[in-house]
Amino acid sequence: MQRTLGTCYYPEHWPSEIWADDARRMVDAGLTWVRIGEFAWSRIEPQSGKLNWEWLDQAIDVLGQAGLQVVLGTPTATPPKWVLDKHPDMLAVDANGNPRKFGSRRHYCFSNAGYLDECRRIVTLLAERYGQNPFVAAWQTDNEYGCHDTVISYSNAARDAFRHWLRTEFHKPGGNAGDIDALNSAWGNVFWSMEYSDFDDIDLPNLTVTEPNPSHALAFRRFSSDQVVAFNRVQSDILRAHSTAPIAHNYMGRITEFDHYKVGADLDIASWDSYPLGFLEDRVGASPEHQRAYARQGDPDFQAFHHDLYRAVGRDRWWVMEQQPGPVNWAPYNPIPLPGMVRLWTWEAFAHGAEAVCYFRWRQSPFAQEQLHTGMLRPDSVDAPAIVEARQVSAELAAAPDVQPYRAPVALIFDYDADWAWAVQPHGQDLSYFGLIFDTYRALRRAGLSVDILPPDSDTFDDYSMILAPGMMHMSDTQKKALANSSAQVVIGPRSGARDSNMVIPTPMPPALPDLDVTVARVESLRPDMPIPLNGGGAVTGYFEEVEGTATATLQTEAGHAVLMNNDNVYYLAAWLDDPGMDRMVGLICQAAGVRTMSLPEGIRIRDTATERFWFNHSTIPIKTEVGELRPADVVRVSKE
Amino acid sequence: MQRTLGTCYYPEHWPSEIWADDARRMVDAGLTWVRIGEFAWSRIEPQSGKLNWEWLDQAIDVLGQAGLQVVLGTPTATPPKWVLDKHPDMLAVDANGNPRKFGSRRHYCFSNAGYLDECRRIVTLLAERYGQNPFVAAWQTDNEYGCHDTVISYSNAARDAFRHWLRTEFHKPGGNAGDIDALNSAWGNVFWSMEYSDFDDIDLPNLTVTEPNPSHALAFRRFSSDQVVAFNRVQSDILRAHSTAPIAHNYMGRITEFDHYKVGADLDIASWDSYPLGFLEDRVGASPEHQRAYARQGDPDFQAFHHDLYRAVGRDRWWVMEQQPGPVNWAPYNPIPLPGMVRLWTWEAFAHGAEAVCYFRWRQSPFAQEQLHTGMLRPDSVDAPAIVEARQVSAELAAAPDVQPYRAPVALIFDYDADWAWAVQPHGQDLSYFGLIFDTYRALRRAGLSVDILPPDSDTFDDYSMILAPGMMHMSDTQKKALANSSAQVVIGPRSGARDSNMVIPTPMPPALPDLDVTVARVESLRPDMPIPLNGGGAVTGYFEEVEGTATATLQTEAGHAVLMNNDNVYYLAAWLDDPGMDRMVGLICQAAGVRTMSLPEGIRIRDTATERFWFNHSTIPIKTEVGELRPADVVRVSKE
Amino acid sequence: MQRTLGTCYYPEHWPSEIWADDARRMVDAGLTWVRIGEFAWSRIEPQSGKLNWEWLDQAIDVLGQAGLQVVLGTPTATPPKWVLDKHPDMLAVDANGNPRKFGSRRHYCFSNAGYLDECRRIVTLLAERYGQNPFVAAWQTDNEYGCHDTVISYSNAARDAFRHWLRTEFHKPGGNAGDIDALNSAWGNVFWSMEYSDFDDIDLPNLTVTEPNPSHALAFRRFSSDQVVAFNRVQSDILRAHSTAPIAHNYMGRITEFDHYKVGADLDIASWDSYPLGFLEDRVGASPEHQRAYARQGDPDFQAFHHDLYRAVGRDRWWVMEQQPGPVNWAPYNPIPLPGMVRLWTWEAFAHGAEAVCYFRWRQSPFAQEQLHTGMLRPDSVDAPAIVEARQVSAELAAAPDVQPYRAPVALIFDYDADWAWAVQPHGQDLSYFGLIFDTYRALRRAGLSVDILPPDSDTFDDYSMILAPGMMHMSDTQKKALANSSAQVVIGPRSGARDSNMVIPTPMPPALPDLDVTVARVESLRPDMPIPLNGGGAVTGYFEEVEGTATATLQTEAGHAVLMNNDNVYYLAAWLDDPGMDRMVGLICQAAGVRTMSLPEGIRIRDTATERFWFNHSTIPIKTEVGELRPADVVRVSKE
Ligand SMILES: [Zn+2]
Ligand SMILES: [Zn+2]
Ligand SMILES: [Zn+2]
């Protein structure tokens, strides 16, 4: 596989006179890809039905003639004002019942049929015009589904579609109508007299007096995710009918409100938008001390996690579609990256298997919302620092060996449905599925391990020495069996299998794993200031389960409660562990699995490919390692020979 | 008086086949009472007018035949969806103007006439059917009035009813119409040109540009409370017409938005729902350190305070209708109680005079909102730890002497109207009447005192050695005289008598107590970080009054300002004191009253009955006392002989 | 200039029988002015068109006959209920779309034409009746424009007026219609397809999915300010047509949502309402430690800053219209001032050039919203402490020399438009223009300097030795030239000139100052915990700019980045400095300017007039200075002879 670089470009923002020079400078910097078009609807179709393709024809031609390959975006994330005038009901509605207005982007409800018609129309026109264009080498659907909290809408359109969705979920055998009694029973609506006599009785679960039924809330989360999948599929079907170029979507970091695997199943490439400094400030969820220590470098695991996640979403084909090139404009604080970090982030993506890394954006915009988002060029077209580091990567890539597919020794299951279940019912303030998974992932990384992320419906595990499946609130019997029958060391829990498919506690009590005699008798959530110490170091933090059963207690609290129980290679973890506890658990399972671990210094991370081991220094100080001293932002590649 | 145990049961949630076995296990555990029915409207009346009594007949029969006494709840806290369809305007409206939707519970506005009609109808049907049933031994109206912030509604129905209520409050002598000039004058509406020309001019006091007139806001609070009283009276009148069984309501902890004494006056028994761990996390208002120290035990005074309060509300007949049996589901953090605490909480209620303690709930529900609320049984019907502790209490009760009525040496007045006045005008951020009363109560408890709580209209004080009436913003002349004429040591203030009945500063200036020359010249609120030290220890915190007058200054600040002034047995306290300051004040008054005090160790509390003294250890460590070492969660009963 | 005292009085709140005695007591206390009428609309016109002047005639007569001069307020801040009934659409609408209701004050939208008509009518009637009254010696328009967040309204009236305003801003040359293409281009609406085809497409910038275009948001801020200016001008034009008495408005502290200079241009006197303790608690923005240290004294620079600001707004004629006399009612905490502070605050105003200081209010109101706001008298008419300190000032004034106009050595430009630009685009959380200006002002004051504040359109700087213009996001070429051509030491930046007039980054890149080769290549915002140390002491905090160019780097970071660059007397400051950094910068510029500095002890501040130097001790402890030991709250005047 060839590794390539690219950038995001907005020809509509600049006089056509400078396009050719921009293209030349891109090629000179070693870029292969240029993504365009995804916000240009008002220039393509300034009025309803009045198409204006000439500028876009020309832009693609100029870029293509210069030797660049174009990624063409569908413009559906930014419908022009006239689209809203045609469909005044297309706006998403927030949890307070307020429609979210025109004037920025993503101002649409996924359930609005009128807007979906407009999307179908414009994407068809775009695909017809450029589906066979030799310079259009890939497509992008829409832009950052879910960004700005846009998956969930409490509109009337969403309400009606949700009712329809529920009828289908609870269909009567042999008929089309839904079975409302089945829903009432599955959700336990007898509780608090919430029983419905018809699907049209069911409202969206906002503005209730106290929390809604978690079954109701989870169903609405699943429905909302399915609306995104359906919306995207309309576009991917059209594009595929007109073009053989691969289709991507650019996902955004820590957006979990829809199932990326399901969207990804309709696409050829997964890509994501990687903003290490912005994310550390606004969504990693680290302590202020950690945020301070990595303020100019970004969290050392957050990007790696997403790289591994999107490798799974893209079934091994994945890109970074937008790479932070300098300070951004949207985080609470927006510092300048440490010199070298743009190069480090790029190489890190390649180490995790990326095909391409595209810098966002080519030239800093002097106007509108992102005018303080830096680019590869300054607003006055002078080189910004990012282009210098990109040129260095480009030169290094030319001298680097080709990448070979690589399978990591450890697999971690990431399940969007579980994230929604935790969000609906966290039990303890601030507990989240993403947090649990990321804490687990960080422990694996501290141990020097490369990790593969797996979707929840995986059933072939034989390539892995270790599989971790924490927090998967609902597990099918098939999943349980596949894991239990695996030859790997398998760690399940906490909260895994805790609910049936409708968010109800099953009987027999969880986790009900084959051949493992463990029962969760009671659960508790803990204040952050009341960790429960483990016998031998580390502690339970935040969440604890009282378990019973005859399985071996491999880890215990000081008071003697079992925390990790196993029967041979199948383990149940009955708690959320702090970092030292996680390290102990990982060490213990690795030992059983015969996987060698290291204890990496703070800020140092490694990642293996089939032929090389990459070493990265995410810290601001030089650090001695077994491959020598790494300067801040250093990237060291060591051949595995 | 016989002390009894019980539980809360939802036969409609379980197959009828297991009811008999459940009943048998209840009786085996020593339970007397079983509360049912309060959320079952959708099963009693699945469609408007289509009644389905058979299952409830059977459930009552099965439980009664097993030897249990049934508490039957009216189902009006959970109107089914069809009730809302009939009365779409029945929803309460929040302060932002949003109706609160169907999908949980308590989704009604107390002022909606249509919903009140439905309640009247269903309660009449219930009373007619079961009023003479031999197994129905008590009634409960609705469920937890005010829980989930449901007393105050900004609906149109509330607005119209408020206008009517105001006409009545400001009625013209000799006529039915209200006197708007009297209202304008009483409220001082000339201020900021807020004068009304008609009662129909008056809106609800939400969404104003800056704060509304406190007289307006307080009137709305009083109206809102009266609506609860009227709503409940409709039910109690119906039940009483059909049954001789006593009627209760189950109040919720620290819900002060309506006057419990007034609701209680229409009932036979006061009961409350006691969730010590949940309350400590979400409403006690303690420091994080205190919350940590008592995370598995609950605050050592919060339950005791409510026990004493509901003894007053119930005129000596009171229950715990719902007792926490293990982790709950609704607090920010939901830990498992320390072993023994369920027993301690039960005995503590009895020590304060409870007739019955019922555990909520019998079996943990696997579905809906409370699926993480533990019960006496697990969802799979296995015994949970609570039933084990309940059995122990049951055995101990059998061996314990009967309870005799007991009068405490100290009385503390609790006035709901004062709580609303403070809420309307706290003066300092976070100052609240409840907080002041509870700080005072804690000081009395630290001194080893048992306390009676009195309603504000009490007029016979001769049984008490000490009476405290802090923070009673409005005091009638009758109240002032009754207190001043008492032979007890009487402590009034701070803020007592500070406003007239319409929330206006009276002249002569407060407190204007007979025979006590003290005038509050100026008041201030203080940042928490600026305590004012008292001469000799302790400090003023949060709130201070500059007082003038010839009364004796018994406590002073280091700078010489009087803090506690008295003439013989009548004291005016001119400040909110910190804990050491409160201890000094209590010690000083007790000495004058000839009441013996102790200085109890942290976590140890005592409570007297007529014949015994109870000692409780609320801490997690063993503590030595004059009755020996108390283990964590220990309960020691010492005969007074 | 004669310095005078006054008070704010509400005759409509009190029986007319006591007016004469109140007036006599005012005169006895040494007061000259009495402000009345500004909230009395419901008494002047209890029903639409039914005027009731008699009481006001009498009140003015009684006060005037006693020797007082009346400031008569227009009552438009408190329209009676019947005005709202006539114009139900007159309420301002908040950012969530909720109209803000009747029941307090300032319940109007500046854009509502119907309400403006009512204002025009009532002000005309008032001016006609009292324009020639010998006792009416000054006027006040409305009351505290902008208080309670009332400048910005998202009403339909505001939306329509905003569209009209934009048409005017983007008018087509030679025509009346707006040029929507010019707006699209100026705002960069091509970004995210936000282009409009008509001005009626443009909505208000609330409730957008993510942030609106900053050009859009800034335009709405400017429009909102202009609406206040226009509203006020209607009143000042009417008053001026009927009276020769000077016209004032009473501005409120740290209200920056409208341009006070523009309102002030239509008035004769600027006045402001000074509440030092309330402000320290709710708007200064200091650390808790600082708030604690000055809880009873107020911030030592906040009042001084506003005095200097309103001297500029009033073109040297300015008053304190409302002076805090004791605890107020509206801050989070409301302590009693340190004895002597009312006197200190009064003298401080005079030291900064005030013509008059009026205490708010004469007698504490026993009713309505401000019943806990103290006055010069208690509610029962007994003297409160403020009147005692006022009498002392009055006596001291009689013995003091007359004031001479004074020009300070240092000028600081304050630009409301820049404040809006920063609010629209702070870049870092909590960064604000006001904060930057106030940090700069505090540093000048710590150095013992008296400061003149200048409006942004100043063009004659020759009287000053030093001029500072930080943070002025947009600077016209004229402004740049005027500053660069000044003979003073001129400090520009950070962020000065960073945007064009439509909030777009200009080319050539900022600051583009004549004869100063400095270019801001990149900007970053910093977490508060990551200061960048300066070489030699102090640090950059919050905001930093990477600059390039050949100008001299006078201050640098430890890492060698230029922070202060200059060419001769023109400096560009490329960062927000912490206090030690600000002190170094001020010291360095003062040295170049030949201005002598001091290093004042914590809590000590000085202010020069033409003939005297005033020393103030804002701390709670005695402090030794070159003019002797100052007691807490001390005021020392030293003749400059
Ligand atoms: Zn439509
Ligand atoms: Zn109705
Ligand atoms: Zn109107």
CATH of the domain at A308: 3.20.20.80
Whether C524 shows a pLDDT value over 90: the answer reads yes
- pLDDT recorded at residue A188: 98
ipTM over 0.85: yes
Substitution target in C369, C381, C382 with the highest count of B β-carbons within 10 Å is C369
CA C125 – CA C116 distance, rounded (Å)? 14
Tens digits of residue pLDDT in A118-146: 999 999 999 999 999 999 999 999 999 99
- pLDDT recorded at residue B176: 67
Whether C384 shows a pLDDT value over 70: the answer reads yes
Residue C416 and residue C525 in one domain = yes
Confidence of residue C532 (pLDDT cuts 50, 70, 90): very high
Strand pairing class (A562-567; A552-556):
antiparallel
Q: Is residue C404 part of a domain?
A: no
Question: Which residues in C lie closer than 8 A to residue A150 (C-beta atoms)?
Answer: 209
Whether A18 shows a pLDDT value over 70: the answer reads yes
- Catalytic pick from C45, C169, C322, C355? C322
Across the interface, of B327, B368, B384, the residue whose CB is closest to A213 is B368
Question: Which residues in A lie closer than 8 A to residue B100 (C-beta atoms)?
Answer: 207-209
Query: What total number of domains does chain A contain?
Result: 4
Interface contact flag, C505 A379, Cβ < 8 Å = yes
Could you list the residue range(s) of the whole structural domain that residue B187 is in?
156-218
Provide the annotated binding site of B for substrate: 105, 143, 330
Give the chain A residue nearest C532 (alpha carbons).
Answer: A335
CA C257 – CA C416 distance, rounded (Å)? 8
Please choose, from the candidates B187, B333, B337, B367, the residue with its C-alpha nearest in 3D space to the C-alpha of residue B274: B337
Q: Measured in angstroms, how far is the CA atom of residue B107 from the centroid of ligand 2?
A: 14
Residue A298 and residue A189 in one domain = no
Whether B609 shows a pLDDT value over 90: the answer reads yes
- pLDDT recorded at residue C171: 87
Residue B231 and residue B197 in one domain = no
Half-sphere exposure of residue A397: CA atoms within 13 angstroms, side-chain side: 28
Structure tokens at A167: 């009828």
Contact B536, C398 (CB under 8 A): no
Residue A175 and residue A294 in one domain = no
Among candidate residues C218, C241, C258, the one where a domain is terminated: C218
Q: Measured in angstroms, how far is the CA atom of residue A117 from the centroid of ligand 1?
A: 9
Q: Is residue A382 part of a domain?
A: no
Question: Taking the mean position of all CA atoms in its chain, how far away is CA C52?
Answer: 35
Residue A322 annotated as catalytic: yes
- Burial per residue of B128-137, b for 16 or more beta-carbon CB atoms within 10 angstroms, e otherwise: ebbbebebbb
CA B174 – CA C563 distance, rounded (Å)? 81
CA B333 – CA A525 distance, rounded (Å)? 5
Among candidate residues C593, C615, C631, the one where a domain is terminated: C593
Please choose, from the candidates A545, A544, A493, A541, the residue with its C-alpha nearest in 3D space to the C-alpha of residue A516: A493
- Residue B41 sits at the chain A interface (C-beta within 8 Å): yes
Structure tokens at A554: 């491999």
Please choose, from the candidates C440, C488, C441, the residue with its C-alpha nearest in 3D space to the C-alpha of residue C460: C488
| DSSP tag of B369 | T
- Burial per residue of C554-578, b for 16 or more beta-carbon CB atoms within 10 angstroms, e otherwise: bbebeeebbbbbbbebbbbbbbbbb
- Portion 485-514 of B in contact with C at CB < 8 A: 504-509
Q: Is residue C598 part of a domain?
A: no
- pLDDT recorded at residue A3: 95
CA C274 – CA C350 distance, rounded (Å)? 13
**What average pLDDT does the segment A62-79 reach?**
98
Q: Mind telling me how many Å the CA of A204 is from chain B's nearest CA?
A: 9
Residue C548 and residue C568 in one domain = yes
Three-state secondary structure call for residue A421: helix
**What average pLDDT does the segment C424-439 reach?**
97
Three-state secondary structure call for residue A175: coil
Q: Measured in angstroms, how far is the CA atom of residue C90 from the centroid of ligand 3?
A: 6
Q: Is residue B639 part of a domain?
A: no
Whether C459 shows a pLDDT value over 90: the answer reads no
Q: Report angle CA C239, C245, C249 to the nearest 5 degrees.
A: 65
- % of chain C surpassing 70 pLDDT: 100
Interface contact flag, A209 B365, Cβ < 8 Å = no
Interface contact flag, C379 B505, Cβ < 8 Å = yes
Q: Which residues contact C586 (CB under 8 A, 6 or more apart)?
A: C443, C444, C446, C447, C449, C597
Confidence of residue C624 (pLDDT cuts 50, 70, 90): very high
- % of chain B surpassing 70 pLDDT: 100
- pLDDT recorded at residue A176: 66
Q: Measured in angstroms, how far is the CA atom of residue B155 from the centroid of ligand 2?
A: 13
CA B611 – CA B404 distance, rounded (Å)? 7
CA A93 – CA A330 distance, rounded (Å)? 23
Question: Which residues in B lie closer than 8 A to residue A527 (C-beta atoms)?
Answer: 281, 291-292, 295, 333, 335
Residue B142 and residue B183 in one domain = no
Confidence of residue A31 (pLDDT cuts 50, 70, 90): very high
Average pLDDT, chain C: 97
Interface contact flag, A333 C507, Cβ < 8 Å = no
Ligand nearest to the CA of C87: 3
Residue C254 and residue C377 in one domain = yes
Residue A123 and residue A29 in one domain = yes
Across the interface, of A292, A326, A385, the residue whose CB is closest to C530 is A292
CATH number at residue A434: 3.40.50.880
Residue C72 and residue C191 in one domain = no
Whether B545 shows a pLDDT value over 90: the answer reads yes
**CB-based burial of residue A396 (10 Å sphere; 0-12 exposed, 13-18 middle, 19+ buried)?**
middle
Q: Is residue C464 part of a domain?
A: yes
User: B595 φ, ψ to 5°?
Assistant: -100, 125
Interface contact flag, C529 A292, Cβ < 8 Å = yes
| DSSP tag of B171 | B
Interface contact flag, A210 B369, Cβ < 8 Å = yes
Residue B348 annotated as catalytic: no
Asked whether residue C105 is marked as a ligand-binding residue, the answer is yes
Q: Which residues contact C41 (CB under 8 A, 6 or more apart)?
A: B193, C75, C76, C78, C79, C80, C83, C122
**What average pLDDT does the segment C230-255 reach?**
98
Residue B580 and residue B440 in one domain = yes
- Catalytic pick from A45, A118, A322, A545? A322
Across the interface, of B75, B332, B367, the residue whose CB is closest to A193 is B75
Q: Is residue B348 part of a domain?
A: yes
Whether B517 shows a pLDDT value over 80: the answer reads yes
Residue C123 and residue C205 in one domain = no
Interface contact flag, B188 C82, Cβ < 8 Å = no
- Residue C16 sits at the chain B interface (C-beta within 8 Å): no
User: C140 φ, ψ to 5°?
Assistant: -125, 130
Tens digits of residue pLDDT in B480-503: 999 999 999 999 999 999 999 999
Interface contact flag, A522 B329, Cβ < 8 Å = no
- Residue A113 sits at the chain C interface (C-beta within 8 Å): no
Q: Is residue B393 part of a domain?
A: yes
Among candidate residues A350, A368, A399, the one where a domain is terminated: A399
- Catalytic pick from B144, B257, B281, B355? B144
Question: Which residues in B lie closer than 8 A to residue A211 (C-beta atoms)?
Answer: 104, 369
Ligand nearest to the CA of A87: 1
Tens digits of residue pLDDT in C176-224: 679 999 999 999 999 999 999 999 999 999 999 999 999 999 999 999 9
CA B508 – CA B513 distance, rounded (Å)? 10
DSSP E strands in A380-501: the ranges are 410-413, 451-454, 466-469, 489-492
Residue B129 and residue B162 in one domain = no
- pLDDT recorded at residue B173: 79
**CB-based burial of residue B201 (10 Å sphere; 0-12 exposed, 13-18 middle, 19+ buried)?**
middle
In SS3 terms, B454-518 reads as ECCCCCCCCCCCEEEECCCCCCCHHHHHHHHHCCCEEEECCCCCCCCCCCCCCCCCCECCCCCCC
- pLDDT recorded at residue A174: 74
Q: Is residue A144 part of a domain?
A: yes
Tens digits of residue pLDDT in A473-505: 999 999 999 999 999 999 999 999 999 999 999
Whether C175 shows a pLDDT value over 80: the answer reads no
Please choose, from the candidates C511, C474, C476, the residue with its C-alpha nearest in 3D space to the C-alpha of residue C492: C511
Q: Measured in angstroms, how far is the CA atom of residue A620 from the centroid of ligand 3?
A: 63
Tens digits of residue pLDDT in A251-261: 999 999 999 99
CA C525 – CA B257 distance, rounded (Å)? 46
- pLDDT recorded at residue A173: 79
